């Protein structure tokens, strides 16, 4: 490990100490409203962007995005110009960002809703996210991405050029883009990084299989499978995606993934494909805690801090909306992803 890697690992440990602990997040779940939640955050000792004395949910979400972006910038300043953990993590966040922005444009959602829960990255900073969220259509989003020279733009151009872009086709293109971009970084990394990238490809394929199952979609399932995973093979994917219902697809995926890292991330309810990402994040954080102790000089410690940044961003959003909607504190706590240790 060179001096730059040692410096990066040191900065990652420092960033980790500035993130909210699970205990602090649990206590914040009792806030009666956003103002009380903001005051609790200010007293927490964590590094959180100021929210203001009388915030609305948009201001709260903006503070959460800026907090995550600031932590990420701290780590990026210590990265050498080579593929690695940070590149793979940024590719994963860009995929999440693009998915939300394109879905929002397709559904004509308000701009604030499109950027909710996102994490700015070097290729999609806050200013770009804000401008992309204002675009009137998916084609306008991709046109601006092209101007910004985003690496995923070219892959999306033919899909959004249609009068009615297919959201599923967008999902598959985004997963293929992530697999290519993050896979290139992972091939030069260690086992922990390769597992993280391949697991995310598997998660995306599992979600796609559940979305395809039981639908009238005119898509050959084999063409929707994305290479790069390690747990879910093409044959098992096609069987699940060709199932008569999502319940049947989940029944096909469960034995196919038995004994793999992805098995624990499968949703309990077949229609809740989005739950796979949240559960995967929880299990990845737990696994990386063990791997970081076994190999403190590998990528696991840094990767775990990055996923804690993502988890904190998700948790702050859940707490913010819980305060706005008056959700019972016990339900807010059940939504938290940040680990206890």
Q: Provide the residue-wise pLDDT of the chain in tens; the chain has 341 residues.
A: 454 456 677 788 888 889 999 999 999 999 999 999 999 998 887 888 888 777 899 989 999 999 999 999 989 887 764 458 999 999 999 999 999 999 999 999 999 999 999 999 999 999 999 999 999 999 999 999 999 999 999 999 999 998 889 999 999 999 999 999 999 999 988 999 999 999 999 999 999 999 999 876 678 899 999 999 999 999 999 999 999 998 999 999 999 999 998 888 887 666 677 788 888 999 999 999 999 999 988 899 999 999 999 999 999 999 999 999 999 999 999 999 999 98
pLDDT at 323: 95
Measured CA to CA in angstroms, residue 98 lies from 71, 155, 276 at distances of 21, 12, 19
* Residues 295, 297, 303: CA angle, nearest 5 degrees: 80
Longest distance between any two alpha carbons in the chain, whole Å: 55
CATH number listed for the domain at residues 191-294: 1.20.1690
Record: fold of 1-82+300-341: Topoisomerase I; Chain A, domain 4 (1.10.132)
pLDDT digits (tens, 9 = 90+) for 123-179: 999 999 999 999 999 999 999 999 999 999 999 999 999 888 999 999 999 999 999
* Residues 332, 338, 341: CA angle, nearest 5 degrees: 130
The domain locations on the chain are: 1-82+300-341, 83-187, 191-294
> d(Cα 313, Cα 338) in Å, to the nearest integer?
10
Record: fold of 83-187: V-type ATP synthase subunit C fold (1.20.1690)
83-187 and 191-294: same fold?
Answer: yes
Taking a C-beta distance cutoff of 8 angstroms, is the pair 168, 102 a contact? no
């Amino acid at each position: 490990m060179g001096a730059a890697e040692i410096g990066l690992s040191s900065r990652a440990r420092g960033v980790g100490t500035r993130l909210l602990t699970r205990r602090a997040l649990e206590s914040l779940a009792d806030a009666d409203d956003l103002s009380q939640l903001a005051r609790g955050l200010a007293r927490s000792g964590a590094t959180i962007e100021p929210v203001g004395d009388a915030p609305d949910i948009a201001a709260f979400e903006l503070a959460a995005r800026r907090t995550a972006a600031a932590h990420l910038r701290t780590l990026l300043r210590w990265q050498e110009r080579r593929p690695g953990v940070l590149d793979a993590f940024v590719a994963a966040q860009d995929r999440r960002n693009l998915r939300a922005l394109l879905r929002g444009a397709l559904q004509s959602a308000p701009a604030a809703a499109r950027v909710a829960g996102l994490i700015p990255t070097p290729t999609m900073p806050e200013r770009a996210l804000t401008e992309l969220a204002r675009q009137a259509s998916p084609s306008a989003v991709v046109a601006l991405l092209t101007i910004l020279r985003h690496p995923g733009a070219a892959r999306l151009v033919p899909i959004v050029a249609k009068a009615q872009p297919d959201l599923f086709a967008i999902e598959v293109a985004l997963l293929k883009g992530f697999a290519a971009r993050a896979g290139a970084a992972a091939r030069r990394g260690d086992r922990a990084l390769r597992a993280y990238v391949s697991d995310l490809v598997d998660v995306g394929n599992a979600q796609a299989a559940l979305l395809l199952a039981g639908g009238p979609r005119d898509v050959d399932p084999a063409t929707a499978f994305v290479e790069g995973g390690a747990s879910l093979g093409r044959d098992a994917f096609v069987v699940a995606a060709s199932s008569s219902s999502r319940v049947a697809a989940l029944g096909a995926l469960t034995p196919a993934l038995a004994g793999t890292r992805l098995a624990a991330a499968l949703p309990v309810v077949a229609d809740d494909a989005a739950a796979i990402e949240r559960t995967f994040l929880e299990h990845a954080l737990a696994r990386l805690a063990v791997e970081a102790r076994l190999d403190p000089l590998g990528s696991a410690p840094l990767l775990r801090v990055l996923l804690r940044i993502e988890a904190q961003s998700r948790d702050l959003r859940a707490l913010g909306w819980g305060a706005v909607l008056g959700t019972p504190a016990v339900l807010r706590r059940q939504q938290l992803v940040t680990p206890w240790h």
